[in-house]
Amino acid sequence: TQLLEQSPQFLSIQEGENLTVYCNSSSVFSSLQWYRQEPGEGPVLLVTVVTGGEVKKLKRLTFQFGDARKDSSLHITAAQPGDTGLYLCAGVRAGGTSYGKLTFGQGTILTVHP
Amino acid sequence: DTGVSQNPRHKITKRGQNVTFRCDPISEHNRLYWYRQTLGQGPEFLTYFQNEAQLEKSRLLSDRFSAERPKGSFSTLEIQRTEQGDSAMYLCASSFSITEAFFGQGTRLTVV
């Protein structure tokens, strides 16, 4: 079983629609990061959330960290074809080493059709 | 400094050969990580360096894998006697704090 469960795994929507990607765990994380990855490239950091209940906005993207720091969500408003890609959540487990080792979810493949 | 740099971008090798990948982190970052990503999956942690010290290794890192970070700057990941199951994207990341990690473009390894 995955430590971080991402859902949905695949999302195919029309331009202009809204969407939400979820990242859930039974473990507590000291921080959680969201990445976007293009085919054949490395993940690009979008945002880091560290405080329970925290909400961060990046243009049309809104990120939330759950109050208990076990879950997070990414909401995209008015999706555009340029948002197409693999979205990954990754967290640093609380209570472990302080090395910053990331545990990743399986990813959500988003396709936005024009 | 434009970010984490990995070389080569692609490597095709025959089964049984040795391969070595290089990672140049962002210059002021003392933390360096290697991850492996197979198709359709998120990256999995392989190993961590703080400066030149290798402080953690995953069980995924068999004895055929070795990583170094001499002088705490660039890092190399070597795979000896490659197997088809080693085919994957190998990603390097560096950071200054534990809350943000910046990834390179990755090295895509294909073992034929």
Say what the alpha-carbon torsion angle B56, A38, A90, B89 is, to the nearest 10 degrees.
-30
The pairing of strands B31-37 and B44-50 is: antiparallel
- DSSP, collapsed to helix, strand or coil, labels residue B32 as strand
Whether residue B95 lies within 8 A of chain A, CB to CB, comes out as yes
Whether residue B102 lies within 8 A of chain A, CB to CB, comes out as yes
Residue B35 · residue B46 · CB < 8 Å: yes
Does residue B53 register a pLDDT over 70?
yes
Q: Rounded mean pLDDT of chain A? A: 94
Contact check, Cβ <8 Å, A99/B108: no
What burial class does residue A112 get, using C-beta atoms within 10 Å of its C-beta: 0-12 exposed, 13-18 middle, 19+ buried?
Answer: buried
User: Residue A98's pLDDT band (boundaries 50, 70, 90)?
Assistant: low
- DSSP, collapsed to helix, strand or coil, labels residue B70 as helix
> Who among B45, B50, B104 is closest to A102 (CB)?
B45
Measure the CA–CA gap between B34 and B91, rounded to whole angstroms: 6
| Shortest Cα–Cα distance, A2 to chain B (Å) | 10
- Tokens 């080569």 sit on residue: B8
User: Residue A1's pLDDT band (boundaries 50, 70, 90)?
Assistant: low
A102 chain-B contacts, CB cut-off 8 A: 33, 35, 43, 45, 93, 101
Of the residues A101, A106, A108, A109, the best mutation for testing chain B's interface (the one with the most B CB atoms within 10 Å of its CB) is A101
- Rg value, chain B, Cα: 13
Does residue B32 register a pLDDT over 60?
yes
Of the residues B51, B99, B109, B110, the best mutation for testing chain A's interface (the one with the most A CB atoms within 10 Å of its CB) is B99
Q: Strand order in B65-68's β-sheet?
A: B5-7, B19-24, B75-79, B65-68
Q: What is the mean pLDDT of residues B70-77?
A: 94
Whether residue B40 lies within 8 A of chain A, CB to CB, comes out as yes
Does residue A95 register a pLDDT over 90?
no
| pLDDT tens, position by position, A43-82 | 999 999 999 999 999 999 999 999 999 999 999 999 999 9
B47 chain-A contacts, CB cut-off 8 A: none
The values of phi and psi at residue A12, to 5°, are: -125, 115
Q: Rounded mean pLDDT of chain B? A: 94
pLDDT at B72: 87
Contact check, Cβ <8 Å, B101/A102: yes
Contact check, Cβ <8 Å, A105/B42: yes
Residue B31's CB is within 10 A of a number of other CB atoms, namely 20
The values of phi and psi at residue A53, to 5°, are: 85, -5
Pull the structure tokens for residue A12: 């195919």
Q: What is the mean pLDDT of residues A24-29?
A: 94
3-state SS of chain A is: CCCCEEECCEEEEECCCCEEEEEECCCCEEEEEEEEECCCCCCEEEEEECCCCCEEEECCEEEEECCCCCEEEEEECCCCHHHCEEEEEEEEECCCCCCCCCEECCCEEEEEEC
- Strand partners for B76: B22, B68
Q: What is the mean pLDDT of residues B1-8?
A: 88
Q: What is the mean pLDDT of residues B80-104?
A: 95
Measure the CA–CA gap between B39 and B60, rounded to whole angstroms: 16
